[in-house]
Copies of this chain bind each other. A is one copy, B any other.
Amino acid sequence: MPPVPAILAIDVGGTTIKAEVASGDGVLAAGRCPTPKGEHALAAARDLGATLIAEAAASGVVVQAAGVVVPGIVDAARGTAVYSSNIGWDNLAVTGPLSAEWGIPVRLGHDVIAAGHAEYLTGAGRGAADVAFVAIGTGIAAALIVGGRVLDGNGAAQPGEIGHVVVRPGGPECGCGNRGCLEAVASAAAIARAYERATGEPAAGALAVFRAAEGDPRARVVIEAATVALADGLAVLTTLLAPERIVLGGGLAEAGAALLDPVAKALAGRVRVQPSPGLVTARHGERAGIVGAALLGQSMLP
């Protein structure tokens, strides 16, 4: 049997590194491990990738290229992870060492931008030319596609930091040092914190607060505050960039209609000088980053 060509895709998240080997036929192998801090994260990704490549080879699959996505500031052209406050690296060469170790071409990208690109090309953003993908998890960040082009930054800065748009001046403190940033009010982490403050009880994550809102008025108040703040943030994005469609992704998008409906309603009431964008949830869900990494890997094939 001839060898099956495949791509290695790795998504280095703040807490977990996820990896897949995939071909046109689907996912052939997958693995994950916790994300160590600093440069150790790169070593962990390297070892996880090497393991999957070896596993694939044992079953007659040849991995021909790899895509790796990471958070923070990324210099894709130089293949360098410039900065990540979560992981704690600083100007770390990524593609050179990984390519040398794995013996295949490697392309680096930004996790949210790669995820947005995946939704745009193969997911819930398909068919629109102006799309914003907004990932809502521990933090909130966006990938912006304008006129069919992904705005992917210049190596020193990345567009799309919607989580740090101030929507509640004087509001809750944000990790960035400002107050009232969107992610300090409406991220999954912020929703869980707000529920704990309101009830004195621990929240089993933001999705649990969404589920509780059905019967618990305290949870309902928390969800309403968060969804209205999200609409405020998306209204700013819409006013500045006029996307036709906004795709909500990240862990919070798993809430589905319970998230989408109130945000869409509040957004429609706020957007005045631009057409109201369509609001949908991501198709690839939590896998959007790894699908984006696979697209980056594919782009390295001859």
**Which A residues fall within an 8 A CB radius of B?**
129-130, 142, 144, 146-147, 149, 151, 153-154, 156-162, 164-166, 168-169, 176-178, 232, 235-237, 239-242, 244, 270, 272-275
Q: Once the chains bind, are B240 and A156 in contact (CB under 8 Å)?
A: no
Whole-angstrom distance between the Cβ of A84 and the nearest chain B Cβ: 12
Q: Once the chains bind, are B235 and A237 in contact (CB under 8 Å)?
A: no
Q: Which residue of B lies closest to A130 (CB)?
A: B154
Q: Once the chains bind, are B166 and A236 in contact (CB under 8 Å)?
A: yes
In the complex, A166 Cα to B272 Cα: how many Å? 11
Q: Once the chains bind, are B147 and A154 in contact (CB under 8 Å)?
A: yes
A241 and B151 in contact, given A146-B159, A164-B273 (Cβ under 8 angstroms) = yes
Q: Once the chains bind, are B272 and A178 in contact (CB under 8 Å)?
A: yes
Q: In the complex, which residues of chain B have a beta carbon less than 8 angstroms from the beta carbon of A270?
A: 166, 178
In the complex, A3 Cα to B50 Cα: how many Å? 71
Q: Once the chains bind, are A151 and B161 in contact (CB under 8 Å)?
A: no
Whole-angstrom distance between the Cβ of A221 and the nearest chain B Cβ: 18
In the complex, A178 Cα to B176 Cα: how many Å? 28
Whole-angstrom distance between the Cβ of A202 and the nearest chain B Cβ: 29
Q: Would you list 25 pairs from A and B whose C-beta atoms are within 8 A, ordered by A residue?
A: A129-B154, A130-B154, A146-B151, A146-B159, A147-B151, A149-B149, A154-B242, A158-B242, A160-B240, A161-B240, A161-B274, A162-B239, A162-B240, A164-B272, A164-B273, A165-B236, A166-B235, A166-B236, A169-B169, A176-B272, A176-B273, A178-B272, A236-B240, A237-B240, A240-B241
In the complex, A129 Cα to B152 Cα: how many Å? 13
Q: In the complex, which residues of chain B have a beta carbon less than 8 angstroms from the beta carbon of A242?
A: 153-154, 157-159, 161
Q: In the complex, which residues of chain B have a beta carbon less than 8 angstroms from the beta carbon of A165?
A: 236, 239-240
A272 and B177 in contact, given A162-B239, A240-B237 (Cβ under 8 angstroms) = yes
In the complex, A241 Cα to B240 Cα: how many Å? 10
Q: Which one of B142, B156, B178, B275 contacts A156 once the chains associate, using CB atoms below 8 Å?
A: B275
Q: In the complex, which residues of chain B have a beta carbon less than 8 angstroms from the beta carbon of A237?
A: 240
Q: In the complex, which residues of chain B have a beta carbon less than 8 angstroms from the beta carbon of A164?
A: 239, 272-273
Q: Which one of B146, B166, B169, B178 contacts A146 once the chains associate, using CB atoms below 8 Å?
A: B146
In the complex, A161 Cα to B237 Cα: how many Å? 10
Q: In the complex, which residues of chain B have a beta carbon less than 8 angstroms from the beta carbon of A272?
A: 164, 176-178
Q: Which residue of B lies closest to A174 (CB)?
A: B272
Whole-angstrom distance between the Cβ of A224 and the nearest chain B Cβ: 16
In the complex, A241 Cα to B154 Cα: how many Å? 11
Interface centre among A142, A176, A274, by most chain B C-beta atoms within 10 angstroms, is A274
Whole-angstrom distance between the Cβ of A143 and the nearest chain B Cβ: 12
In the complex, A161 Cα to B240 Cα: how many Å? 5
A161 and B130 in contact, given A178-B272, A272-B178 (Cβ under 8 angstroms) = no
In the complex, A75 Cα to B151 Cα: how many Å? 23
Q: Which residue of B lies closest to A162 (CB)?
A: B240
The 5 A-B pairs at the shortest CB distance, nearest first, are namely: A157-B242, A176-B272, A164-B273, A161-B239, A161-B273
